[in-house]
Structure 1
Amino acid sequence: MGDLAVSLAAALRDGTSVDELARELRDVLDDESRAEMIARTEVARAQSQASLDTYGRADVRRVEWLTSPGNVCMQCEANADQGPISTRQVFTGGVDSPPQHPNCRCALMPVLDVSFE
C-alpha cells in the first residue's frame, strides 16, 4: 500500500478533519490543491458510507440524493431528479451514495416511511 493509501486509511480510521487530512496529504503529494480535493472527496465518501450503515441499522429502506445549492453538475442533478430509491439500488450515476465525482458537495438523506395518526 502506498503512502497516499496509508495516510487516507489512518486519517479516516482516526476521524481526522478534512483540513488536517489535506495537510498530511500535502506532504505525500507535494500538491496543495490535489491534496485538498482528495481529502474532501474521501471524507465525503466515508461520511456517506457511514450514513448508509446507520440507515441500514435503523431499518431505513429508501434514500434521496440532495444537491448542494449553487453550481450542480448534470450527473448530480440527474441523481437528485431520480427521487427516493431503495437503499439496495444505485443512482443513475452508478453510485449508491455521494460523492459522484471529486469535490462533490451532495449528500444522502433518509426517506422515512412514517405516518402520523
Structure 2
Amino acid sequence: MGSAEYWRKRTLESEAYANGLAESEIVRQQKLYKAAYKQLAKQIDGLYIQVVEYGEELSRTQLWNFSRWYQLEQRLGKITGEITTNQIRGTERTLIKVFEKTMGVTLKDLKQSGAPVNLSFDMLDNVQIKQLVNTAWNDASFSQRYIENGIKMGERVKQDITDMLISGKSPGAIKKALQGDLNMNYYAADRLVRTEANHYYNDAAMKSYKAAGVIMVEYIAEVDDRICDECEGYSGQIYPIDGAPTLPIHPNCRCCYAPVVEVGDDLTEAAELLKKYA
C-alpha cells in the first residue's frame, strides 16, 4: 500500500497543485481590479473638474446633485456587480477543477497501491460537483462571501470619495484611497480563493480515501517558515476518517490529510488506532 512517507509526500504534492489552480484564478482576478481602477479614476477626474468649476465649499447634498457624481455612482455599482459575478464564476470553475483533479488522481494512486477502490465514487458528474462546491461549509458559501465583500467595497469607495472631495483633497489623493479600497477587496478575494481551494481539495481527498476503505488519516502540515503554531501543533496527529477536523482550520491554511494505509490489512492494529484516537 506504500509507505507513510510516500503518502505524506504525495498528499503535499496534490495540495500544492490545488493551490496552484487557486493562484491562477487569483492572477486572473487581479486584472479585474486593474481595469476597475482605470475606469473609476477617469470618473474621479471628471467629477473633480465639475467640483472645481462649482467654486464653493461643498456639502454632501450638493455633491450628490452633480451629474458627474451620479455617473460615478452608477459606474461604481456596475463595476462592483461585474467583479463579483466574474469572481463567482471563476472561483466555481477553479473549485470544480480542484475537486475533479483531486478525486481522479487520489483514486488512481490508491487503486495502483492495491486499495479496494469503490469506483462508484469516481462517477460524480459535473452537476453533482458543482452542487458540492457551492455548499456552505463555514457559515456561508464562497459566492455569498463575494457578494458581501463586493457590497462592502462599493460602500467604502463611495464613502471615501465623498469624504475626500468635500474636505478638498486632490484627485491624486482620492485615487490613492481608491487603490487602497480595491486592494483591500482583492486581498480578501485572494484569501477566499486559497481557503476554498484547500477545503475542496481536502473534501475530495477524504471522499476518495473513504472509497478506498481508508479508516484513518494523518494530519499533514507544510513545515516551512510560513507554518503557524496552530498547524504545527496538529501536524502528525492521526484521526479516524469520520472524526478528523474539517480543513482548513484557518484562512490561507495549506494543511491536508494523508491516508494511513499501512493498517489496511491489519484489523487488530486498526482497531487499536481507533481506540486511541477516537
Per-residue deviation, 1:55: 0.4
Q: In structure 2, list runs of 5 or more residues that go unmatched.
A: 1-83, 99-145, 151-181, 266-278
1:103 to 227, 241, 252: 252
Regions of 4+ moved over 3 Å: 2-11
Partner of 1:12: 95
Per-residue deviation, 1:62: 0.5
**d(CA) in 1 for partners of 2:203 and 2:232?**
20
Partner of 1:88: 242
**d(CA) in 2 for partners of 1:32 and 1:80?**
30
CA contact (8 A) 2:214 2:264 kept: no
1:78 partnered with 2:227: no
Local SS of the residue matching 1:65: strand
Per-residue deviation, 1:80: 1.6
Higher Cα Rg: structure 1 or 2? 2
Local SS of the residue matching 2:204: helix
Give 1:28-107 correspondences, 5 Å limit: 29=150, 30=182, 31-70=185-224, 71-81=226-236, 83-90=237-244, 95-96=245-246, 98-107=247-256
Per-residue deviation, 1:64: 0.6
1:15-73 CA distance string (max 9 Å, x none): 27xxxxxxxx6xx7442211111111101100000000000000011101111122322
Aligned length: 97
Local SS of the residue matching 2:217: strand
Structure richer in strand, relative to its length: 1
87 and 36 in structure 1: CA distance in 2 versus 1, 3 angstrom threshold:
same
TM-score (norm 1): 0.67
Partner of 2:65: none
Q: In structure 1, list runs of 5 or more residues that go unmatched.
A: 17-24
**Which AA in structure 2 matches 1:53?**
K
72 and 3 in structure 1: CA distance in 2 versus 1, 3 angstrom threshold:
same
The two structures, once aligned, show a CA RMSD in angstroms of: 2.7
**d(CA) in 2 for partners of 1:46 and 1:5?**
17
Query: Percentage identity across aligned positions?
Result: 24
6 and 36 in structure 1: CA distance in 2 versus 1, 3 angstrom threshold:
closer
Local SS of the residue matching 1:99: coil
CA contact (8 A) 2:216 2:259 kept: yes
Structure richer in helix, relative to its length: 2
**d(CA) in 2 for partners of 1:105 and 1:4?**
25
**Which AA in structure 2 matches 1:39?**
V
**d(CA) in 1 for partners of 2:95 and 2:211?**
21
